[in-house]
Structure 1
Amino acid sequence: MPSILALALAAVFSASSAISFYIWKKRQIDYDSKVKALQKSLNSALEKCAAERQGRIRAQQALRKAVVAQAQTKSENSDTTSYPMAPIGIVQSCFSTRNGTPRQPLLVPLARACLIFDSTRVPPASLEGLEEYSHCWIIYVFHLNTDLEKLWKHPSKSKFKAKVRVPRLKGGRRGVFATRSPHRPCPIGLTVAKVEAVQGNMLLLSGVDLVDGTPVLDIKPYLPYCDSIEGAVVPAWVTADSVLSVASVSFTDDFSSSLADSWKSAEKKSLYSSPDELKSLVKQVLSWDIRSVSQRNRPHNNLLKIGTVDASDNTSDLDNSQDGEAADSGELIYHLVLDGMDFSYEIDGNGNVIVKEVRHSSSISLRNEKRCNYLMWKDKPE
């Protein structure tokens, strides 16, 4: 009798265990299915947002071209005074897009560019003697501003913003003339760069904060005795560098192999001598938090707000916004395009940047086949 009771109890226990295992397994499968469905939905939403943003960018570019063409036809009948100005040269820069382009000059010493002068407007003799200076001023156009069409409207209809958001103030506003925002009544920029060499109709520069394709209006030599002002005073927030700096920049174990693979197709048109030198450039660029104000304040919200617009100090959030994508770990993956290569990275809550991999950027088409490259730097006259 006891043995029968024991067998019955064992059978009940086995059945109970089987039922519990079945229920646990079913719940696990349900959870896995829900996670996969949510991940699929999130990826789909991100792809849709990215596609919409690309379409909006193309529309804005087309609008810029149409506005410029319209302005040229109306300039003779304008009731305001205008002046005959046209670019004297175009910049070929390591910064393929606005995102990642430094907010100020000389912050990234390895940032290189070639200024190619229009030989029909600027004879090579115009550059004679410039190589004797260490630095030069560059006056240029913020040609990638997405609000250029406002400038051609009557002031009462332009809706021009008098105040802009400042990154160092974490989105706090200041009058546009108290900042270096690119969104100005006249979209003209002023920067300084190190003169590396003058070769024919090309000027080799370093420490630049200019995006590839920037039109240049004029250059002037930097004169320390009058351009450097001893005792100059600026607001306290201007010198708060820690606001935009990161804690550290590191690279994953897989980064070097992906860089070596990408380097094979980029080497001939690169402004850098080796993968290691390009890696140093990446580290210098990402030593500053290049994300927009909204991305820094609410990073995960931007998964559903890709392309959020905010104006900032030297590069507005609109110009500097970047697509975020969710990694398997739940962290946001950001992208930085340098020298035609797409670098993906994460940044944690403590400000530590981890560069994950690099690949050739298929979305960046070089503006012309004749590009400056490192060989020009290597052979520069001493």
Structure 2
Amino acid sequence: MTKRRRKKKEKQIQPNHEYYGDQTKLNEIPEDRITMDPIGYIHTCFPKKNGSPRQGKLAPTSQGYIKLLASHAHHLFHGLEEYSHIWVIFWFHKNRVTSSTKSYMINNSQDKPDIDQAPAPALSDYVYTKDQRYPPDNVMVRPPLLNGKKVGVYASRTPHRLVPIGMTMCRIERIEGDTIYLSGVDMVDGTPIIDLKPYIPKFDSEPDARTPAWIDNKSDIKTVRFSDEAIDGLRRTIDTVGLRLLANEPANSKSGTSFEERVARVQTLITEILINEPRSVYRRKKKTHESWGFFIDTLNIECQVDPDGVATVLGVVDTETYEHQRSLEHATGNSSNSREDVVD
């Protein structure tokens, strides 16, 4: 590298300390652009954001699997079976699309195919360059544990980040060929995966780490109970519709799980989700005692929280039945049992 090029490079990487209010001189920031494809997608028991746990460790019964989109996947996984846990690095693809990003995606879309050509498969193009995200949509956020108070984006685990990358520590259940099966997941079904890294306590755990006091704030929900109607609906749905992921067993399993074990597994997962307060701050404060619900696997769960902090599961139906009921309610203008997105 010549002296002139070296000086130019050094000038490029100098930190920019000049601000005009909150606005940085964007034209002085080095132009690095990162383009990548997912290494795979995770399939989980959470079809929607609402109801998915805020951290995978809070719902150890939850399950999912990742199928690598790579050749020689078995070589990439070689040795990973010796670890018990793994870091999953992923993209928050369900974040609301901002107007600037939407505009970029429209203005930079590919030319339409000829009328005689088959349409190209849908491809999501997530653009989070400094131009598209400025000014940022989220600088301060309200973590659920803070009950409406704000902290900066980087003082929280919010999905709504300048570059929406998430990380979750999951338990490795097994590896079969190009697919890794996990428990303790918090990702929505179909989430793009960026990377996998083994969890190493020697490097990843810090017993003396400091955290703010609000991290230990307790949930408003103290206990969870199931009504007789909910138990009947759960058993009927599992018997007639079945489970998509929560019944997942190793390929070489001879016995499999019994019907009662599947029912108990779903009850445990519902309890794990509710006891850790999946409601938004708005719902906790403004619609405290209204019934509400969420989805798990093939199931729709309706519940309600009383003033004493008891969450009662009122009913369980399969997702298709629920969607049909909702469409009828919307048609008659009699809507209930709201579904909301959980926002950290």
- 2:154 counterpart SS class: helix
Q: Does 1:262 align with 2:220?
A: no
Contact 1:90–1:215 under 8 Å retained in 2: yes
| Partner residue, 1:352 | 310
* Letter aligned with residue 267 of structure 2: K
Q: CA deviation at 1:113?
A: 0.8
Give matches, 1:102-113, under 5 Å. Answer: 102-113=53-64
Contact 1:147–1:183 under 8 Å retained in 2: no
Runs of 4+ in 1 over 4 A off after TM superposition: none
State how far apart, in whole Å, the 2-side matches of 1:216 and 1:102 are. Answer: 18
- 1:190 counterpart SS class: strand
Give matches, 1:292-371, under 5 Å. Answer: 292-299=280-287, 332-362=290-320
| Partner residue, 2:274 | 286
| Greater relative contact order, per chain length (Cα 8 Å cut-off, separation 6+) | 2
Q: Does 1:167 align with 2:117?
A: no
Give matches, 1:1-382, under 5 Å. Answer: 80-120=31-71, 123-147=73-97, 149-150=100-101, 151-152=128-129, 154=131, 157-240=134-217, 242=218, 244-267=219-242, 269-272=244-247, 273=257, 274-299=262-287, 332-362=290-320
- 2:142 counterpart SS class: strand
Name the structure where helix makes up a greater proportion of residues.
Answer: 1
Contact 2:299–2:317 under 8 Å retained in 1: yes
- 1:260 counterpart SS class: helix
State how far apart, in whole Å, the 2-side matches of 1:156 and 1:111 are. Answer: 33
| Cα RMSD after superposing both structures | 2.0
Contact 1:93–1:213 under 8 Å retained in 2: yes
State how far apart, in whole Å, the 1-side matches of 2:200 and 2:134 are. Answer: 41
Q: CA deviation at 1:115?
A: 1.2
Q: CA deviation at 1:119?
A: 3.5
In terms of mean alpha carbon deviation, does 180-189 or 274-283 score higher?
274-283
Runs (5+) with no aligned partner, structure 2: 1-29, 102-127, 248-256, 324-344
State how far apart, in whole Å, the 2-side matches of 1:142 and 1:82 are. Answer: 19
Q: CA deviation at 1:129?
A: 1.0
State how far apart, in whole Å, the 1-side matches of 2:205 and 2:243 are. Answer: 39
Q: What is the aligned length?
A: 253
- 1:332 counterpart SS class: coil
Scaled by the length of structure 1, the TM-score of the pair is: 0.62
Q: CA deviation at 1:153?
A: 6.8
Q: Percent of pairs identical after alignment? A: 32
- 2:58 counterpart SS class: coil
- 2:150 counterpart SS class: strand
* Letter aligned with residue 226 of structure 2: F
State how far apart, in whole Å, the 2-side matches of 1:268 and 1:159 are. Answer: 40
Residues 229/156 of structure 1: CA separation in 2 closer, same or farther (3 Å cut):
closer
Q: CA deviation at 1:350?
A: 2.0
